[in-house]
Amino acid sequence: QQQVKQSPQSLIVQKGGISIINCAYENTAFDYFPWYQQFPGKGPALLIAIRPDVSEKKEGRFTISFNKSAKQFSLHIMDSQPGDSATYFCAARRGANNLFFGTGTRLTVIP
């Protein structure tokens, strides 16, 4: 059973546009929600993370919006660049336990 649902599966955005990826979860015990960026053949790299006591977190061009009541969170990439083309995974974790990943979104930014 997929603990974290992610959409869309793939996304094509023009350079300079906004990329939006959405995730939803059911387990209210999750208390840490990171986003990972993965390039082909590489390990996932942490982009940005949020805890449920905060509704939004921004780091550079990357913003997480978190809606605790709806059990949803999303990643916004502003001013998307071709170098942002990668697969993005949302994830969730309870305490010190393992990460549960979403199914991934393959982002392509067209020059």
Binding site for other proteins (CB under 8 A): 34, 36, 41-46, 49, 89, 95-104
Q: Name the helix (H) or strand (E) containing 63.
A: strand 62-67
Find, among 94, 62, 92, the residue nearest to 79 by Cα.
62
Residue 69 vs 98, nearer CB to other proteins: 98
Residue 43 vs 83, nearer CB to other proteins: 43
Q: Shortest gap between Cβ of 111 and other proteins (angstroms)?
A: 25
Whole-number Å distance between alpha carbons of 54 and 67: 9
Q: Shortest gap between Cβ of 6 and other proteins (angstroms)?
A: 8
Residue 70 vs 96, nearer CB to other proteins: 96
Q: Shortest gap between Cβ of 92 and other proteins (angstroms)?
A: 12
Contacts with 61 (C-beta within 8 Å, 6 or more apart), sequence order:
77, 78, 79, 80
Structure tokens at 19: 């990329």
Provide the 8-state DSSP code for 4: E
Residue 72 vs 103, nearer CB to other proteins: 103
Q: Shortest gap between Cβ of 74 and other proteins (angstroms)?
A: 17
